[in-house]
Amino acid sequence: MIKITLPDGAVKEVEKGTTPMEVAKSISEGLARNVISAKFNDTVVETVTPLTSDGALTLYTWNNDEGKKAFWHSTSHVVAQALEELYPGIKLTIGPAIENGFYYDVDFGDQSISEKDFPKIEKKALEIARGKHDYNMRSVSKADALSYYKEQGNEYKVELIENLDDGTITFCDHSTFTDLCRGGHIPNTGIIKAIKLLSVAGAYWRGDENNTQLTRVYGISFPKQKELTEYLQLLEEAKKRDHRKLGKELELFTFSQKVGQGLPLWLPNGAALRERLEQFLKKAQKKAGYEMVVTPHIGQKELYVTSGHYAKYGEDSFQPIHTPKEDEEFLLKPMNCPHHCEIYNSYPFSYKDLPKRYAEFGTVYRYEQSGELHGLTRVRGFTQDDAHIFCTTEQLNDEFKNVIDLTLYVLNSLGFEDFTAQVSVRDLENPDKYIGNTDDWEKAEQAIINAAEEKGLNYVVESGEAAFYGPKLDFMIKDALGRNWQLGTIQVDYNLPKRFDLTYKGSDNELHRPVMIHRAPFGSMERFVALLLEHTGGNFPLWLIPTQAIVLPVSEKHEKYAEKVLNSLENHEIRALIDKRNETVGKKIREAELKKIPFMIIVGEQEEESVTISVRRHGGKDLGSLSVDAFSDLVTTEINSTLKSF
């Protein structure tokens, strides 16, 4: 007999060789019907894997992320089988589950597929799924595994197998299909009721640009047709909210191949919006005791060797710039912190001077592979709303809490209410990923948890998510598709002050080491604007939106009055435009709606006579006729309701 411990702590004594599915059955038939995957002692197992030792067992259903992962990975086998049957001679490589679905990387040789082929592939895959084939894992010797794939001429699988140890290699069979696989499958293919291929893209074998370009087929699957339908509706909604699409429509930013990929160009509307965001934060920061600083876009390589950035990222990033005569080496600034450390070092501070809070909208450059670039969320040059606080250990807790307050103020003013706080700590099993000593790390992690507790934040702790120099508190939001995005971040760092030999004179007249907080409530201007676009669908808060109102004269006759109204709005500091084109008011309204302009000001005969304006809200609500003064009050009231002072 063996002892199986369940997640609730209950211990079941079962015969050696009992499977997770049999354990599920012994709990309830209902559970057994829903179990699709399992984990035994931290290893993913099949629901039919015989358990042969004491251990902890977790059973997964479709409602767990792990269950979905098994479901989607299992579907990738079925899709691979369908592809092989439809396109004989192709070479399969890998087919993992991803956050939303799965992909399979395939070498199609001289064949190719496009979205037009999806329906027939989906049909074939569903036919296979309906056969209710079991997934069967079996061990194979390295020699047998190699000869199986050599015979097929599949050099990719051969390469994968060559990197595996004999005795650890397994194949998975279902129906007539066999694949090299570590496991983690649902019981049988019959559970897969809906399969949808989503896209095809190029992908290099092992992510290396020097290797063969493969075709990556993305897909998703569900246990019910209804769930697929709902998912596709959500995808449609997300497409409408895609910041790349909205950014173009609202004329906020663009990219130029001539300037270079991953380097956003801000258009006047976008630049004005960004300026407002900066002013908003600068104002709050000033009240919170920050001082603005300015530092250059490049720094000597030595600076980043000192900070540890070079050892960590140097090889994989933009390479040093050499001066022609002196052969000095400079790097594009990947982070502002080293520069701010040197600003701190320019003056001998005493404990009475601390905390020092240096803020900068600092532009940094980081190399991203071209395939990784994505609109404003993954770029090669971006501006952080950065600041570094240098304080004593005694001040750390208060300073950290003040930064939490500032971050919450920023998020609330921009309409982000549904966010989670994540305390990102070290991965204790991979200490090499981090710099600094264990003592400092423990202190820093504890400081963050204490501050989060005292602020009453609802937080989760994620191990392995820390920065390489220190733990952090990240604010995360979920988008329409349920994807998690990181917004602001606050980090505690004992490390850089040591590396830069930062000191202050204490009340004891001795030199002491300050502790450093890195923080950026927006994260970066680029990423923040992207998320704000997707979050609001372009309907920015009134205080931030580029154009708050548009004046629409009913006909040419009323243009003069319309100009007067515009002038008056501008005097009330309302950002307004006028649409004098020779179009119908109906058409002008429709276009203003598309541009997401919050207020449409219609002026005609009646308005001119009564010296009023007719106001229509974005989305269709008629606010009736008002004086410009009354309208201005209405705008001010709405702005003040979201934008409180810090």
Residue 335: CB minimum distance to Zn ion, A: 6
337 marked as part of a ligand binding site = yes
**What is the 8-class DSSP label of residue 524?**
B
Cα 161 from chain centre: 33
Q: Which one, 489 or 568, has the nearer CB to Zn ion?
A: 489
Shortest spacing between CB 340 and Zn ion, in angstroms: 7
Instruction: Say if residue 133 carries a ligand binding annotation.
Output: no
Query: Which residue among 386, 474, 493, 579 is the active-site one?
Result: 386
Which one, of 385, 386, 375, lies nearest residue 263 by Cα? 375
> Cβ contacts of residue 346 below 8 Å, gap of 6+?
none
Q: Which CB atom, from 426 or from 518, has the smaller least distance to Zn ion?
A: 518
16 is an active site residue: no
CB of 77 to Zn ion, least distance (A): 5
- Does 388 show up as a binding residue in the annotation? yes
Least Cα distance to 517 among 424, 415, 396 occurs for 396
**Catalytic site residue 258?**
no
For 388, residues 6+ apart whose C-beta sits below 8 A from its C-beta are 336, 337, 340, 341, 344, 357, 358, 516, 517, 518, 519
Least separation in angstroms between CB 408 and Zn ion: 20
Active site residue 518: yes
Q: Which amino acid is at 216?
A: R
Query: Which residue, 445 or 608, has its beta carbon nearer to Zn ion?
Result: 445
Catalytic option among 172, 181, 337, 341 = 337
Cβ(73)–Cβ(222) under 8 Å?
A: no
Rounded to whole angstroms, the Cα distance separating 97 from 74 reads 8
Catalytic site residue from 133, 185, 472, 596? 472
Longest dimension (CA), the chain: 94
Residue among 43 and 112 whose Cβ is closer to Zn ion: 43
133 is catalytic: no
Among this protein's residues, is 581 annotated catalytic? no
In angstroms, give the least distance from the CB of 546 to Zn ion.
30
Among 384, 395, 491, 548, the active-site one is: 384
- CA separation for the pair 623, 88 (Å, rounded): 65
Minimal distance, residue 285 CB to Zn ion, in Å: 15
Locus of tokens 């981090």: 434
Other CB atoms within 10 A of residue 354 CB? 20
Q: Is 472 annotated as catalytic? A: yes
User: Which residues contact Zn ion (rule: CB under 5 A)?
Assistant: 172, 181, 337, 518
Which parts of 202-265 fold into alpha helices (H)? 225-241, 243-249
Is the distance from CB of 539 to CB of 596 less than 8 angstroms?
yes
CA distance 335 to 356: 19
User: Of these residues, 518, 527, 588, 596, which one is catalytic?
Assistant: 518
CB of 293 to Zn ion, least distance (A): 13
Angle at the Cα of 171 from the Cα atoms of 166 and 177, rounded to 5 degrees: 150
3-state secondary structure of 445: helix
574 burial level (CB within 10 Å; 0-12, 13-18, 19+): buried
HSE-CB at 463 with a 13 A cutoff on CA atoms is 8
Which of 124, 241, 366, 426 is labelled catalytic?
366
Give yes or no: 181 in active site: no
Active site members: 337, 366, 384, 386, 388, 472, 518
Annotated binding site: 337, 388, 518
Residue positions in the annotated binding site for Zn(2+)?
A: 337, 388, 518
